[in-house]
Amino acid sequence: MDIKDGVAVVTGGASGLGEATVRYLLGKGAKASILDFAQDRGEKLAAELGGEVLFCKTDVTDESSVKEAILKTMEVFGAIHFVVNCAGVATPGRVLGKEGPMDIGRFNQVIQINLVGTMNVIRLAAEQINKNQPNEDGEKGVMVNTASVAAFEGQFGQAAYAASKAGVAGMTLPIAREFANYGIRIVTIAPGLFETPMMAGMSPKVYESLVKMTLFPKRLGRPVEFAMLTAQIIENPLLNGEVIRLDGGLRMGAK
């Protein structure tokens, strides 16, 4: 699909991979609605980027909150063509730690935000995308989700995170098969290690150990590289129902 003049909904769009995606799609002529819980950052970013950007304070786990954001986006921009799900958390925790079994509430929170939150946005945005007029290929819209290499190689302490991201990866093909009837494509990106706020604060020693696991280039990914792949997915009509690793050949060790 053409990005120019399209409307993108980006969850987690106030920072990290989401912010980079918002900026990149704007640069290609799109409008963007940022759905994020971080109100200060979201409002500041929207003010910086101008009238082609809308900020909606959103809790992706809450149905009414997502509905309100989707409807507000429709009111302001008149349509939704692209969805990019970047909202997520990476709360670590051992299943059996020094203080006993993991708090199941912590596990559930990660699942709710990363997996249920992604589905919440998919299902509610799809209802609006399905109203679009199809292009010459029959396309009405494109959805891009964010999983993680942890979906396949979860590390020590990542049981909740890995489970949530494996769920995002696992539901990609079934949704693509269903949405084929509506002219909506869906693809999931599984990023490796990226320079995002989630990774901020690591020591040089930890940084070096992570870089060693990457084949090439020997560095963490840059958020703009995630944004570039998102744009390429939108523009390439044959990409559908797939999970694409974006990791420089990284294979995570146990720790």
Provide the whole-model pTM: 0.96
Of 24, 161, 182, 207, the active-site residue reads: 161
- Which is more confident, 195 or 60? 60
Structure tokens at 68: 């309100």
User: Catalytic residue at 24?
Assistant: no
> What is the pLDDT at residue 150?
95
Q: CA-to-CA distance for 186 and 93, rounded, in angstroms?
A: 31
Work out whether strand 82-85 and strand 7-11 pair parallel, antiparallel, or are unpaired.
parallel
- Is residue 199 scored above 80 in pLDDT? no
- Is residue 62 scored above 80 in pLDDT? yes
- What angle is formed at CA 64 by the lines to CA 62 and CA 70, rounded to 5 degrees? 105
Is the CB of residue 190 less than 8 Å from the CB of residue 246?
yes
Sign of the alpha-carbon torsion through 71, 88, 6, 20: positive
Domains contained in the chain, CATH given: 7-246 (3.40.50.720)
Q: CA-to-CA distance for 71 and 33, rounded, in angstroms?
A: 11
- Is residue 245 scored above 90 in pLDDT? yes
Cα dihedral 182, 13, 77, 57 in deg (nearest 10): 110
Mean pLDDT, rounded, for 182-203: 88
Q: How far is CA 138 from CA 80, 130, 179, 183, in A?
A: 16, 11, 12, 6
Mean pLDDT, rounded, for 9-35: 98
Q: Which residues contact 42 (CB under 8 A, 6 or more apart)?
A: 13, 14, 34, 36, 55, 56, 57
Classify burial at 38, counting beta carbons within 10 Å of its beta carbon; exposed 0-12, middle 13-18, buried 19 or more.
middle
- Is residue 198 scored above 70 in pLDDT? no
Mean pLDDT, rounded, for 69-78: 98
DSSP 83: E
Mean pLDDT, rounded, for 243-248: 97
Mean pLDDT, rounded, for 170-177: 98
